[in-house]
Structure 1
Amino acid sequence: MSIYFADPYAAWQRGANENTNGLLRQYFPKGIDFRKTDEIAVTEAVRKLNNRPRKCLGYRTPNEVFWSAARGALAI
């Protein structure tokens, strides 16, 4: 198995990660104090992001990809 590490300060090498960070900023602006954020708000943001289709996943949602892989792994 090959393992790759992005160079420090090279955001273009972490495309999906940087895109997800941008999506999270829609719900939690930069500088937010998460100690004052309730669990319901975090859970709702996670639910929305996990059910949002992504181009890098062939317009499937992260939930669809996860559960199809989990079912395949459990079918062994």
Structure 2
Amino acid sequence: MLLHLPRMDGYGVELRVKNGPALAGRGAEAVKDAIATTITTLPEQLRRSLTWDRGKEPAQHAQLSVDTRLQVYFADPQSPSQRGTNENTNGLLRQYFPKGTDLSRWDADELDAVAHALNTRPRKTLGWNTPAEALNEHLLSVQEAGIATIA
């Protein structure tokens, strides 16, 4: 899932406040709101935790946990192996958005198209299934495991 971060309300209209929203209008509050809105569309068993890298974006992590009941963990510094899937996905995203690309020029529909392309692309680590197929199989297995049968 790729998240589009629209400008925050009041950006460019209200005077800039020290320690207020980020200059681009896409600060930690916008990140928290985008994650909360998107992650709650997933089944509960798929949104138990989030492992985050270091940076300014997770500054609202405590409120994100309260809003979504999501456990937030932080990777150790210089430990990309703790976020392996994320690091691999970042590499795939570089095929669409080379380093230094201004991401503000992409809208939500364009990001959805890139997410769809990546989610329908077979992966060796998934036995050449696509991420969409693997997710669907997982959800079906969880659903079947929860169904009681009468013998």
TM-score interval, smaller chain = 0.7 to 0.9
Task: Specify the SS of the correspondent of 2:141.
Answer: helix
CA distance in 2: counterparts of 1:43 and 1:16, whole angstroms:
19
1:8 paired with 2:77, answer: yes
Aligned partner of 2:137 in structure 1 is 68
Gaps of 5+ in 1: none
Match of 1:18 in 2: 87
Q: By how many angstroms is 1:32 displaced?
A: 2.4
Q: After TM superposition, where is structure 1 displaced by more than 2 Å over at least 4 residues in a row?
A: 14-17, 31-35
Task: Please tell me whether residue 39 in structure 1 is matched to residue 97 in structure 2.
Answer: no
Percent identity at matched positions? 48
Residue 48 of structure 1 is matched in structure 2 by 117
* Bigger helix fraction: 1
**2: CA distance between counterparts of 1:9 and 1:71?**
37
- Residue 31 of structure 1 aligns to a residue in which SS? coil
Over alpha carbons, which structure has the higher Rg? 2
Which digits, 9 at most, give the CA deviation of each residue in 1:30-73, with x for residues without a partner?
22232221222211110010011111111111101100111122
- Normalising by structure 2, we get a TM-score of 0.42
- What amino acid maps onto 1:59 in structure 2? W
The one-letter code of the counterpart of 1:71 is L
Higher relative contact order structure (alpha carbons within 8 Å, sequence separation ≥ 6): 2
Distance 1:6 1:44, change over 3 A: same
Task: Give secondary structure in 2 for the equivalent of 1:26.
Answer: coil
The structure where strand makes up a greater share of residues is: 2
TM-score w.r.t. length of structure 1? 0.75
Superposition RMSD in Å? 2.1
Q: Distance in 2 between matches of 1:16 and 1:26?
A: 16
Name the CA distance, whole Å, in 2 between partners of 1:6 and 1:43. Answer: 27
Give, in angstroms, the shift of residue 6 of structure 1: 4.8
Unaligned runs of 5+ in 2: 1-73, 147-151
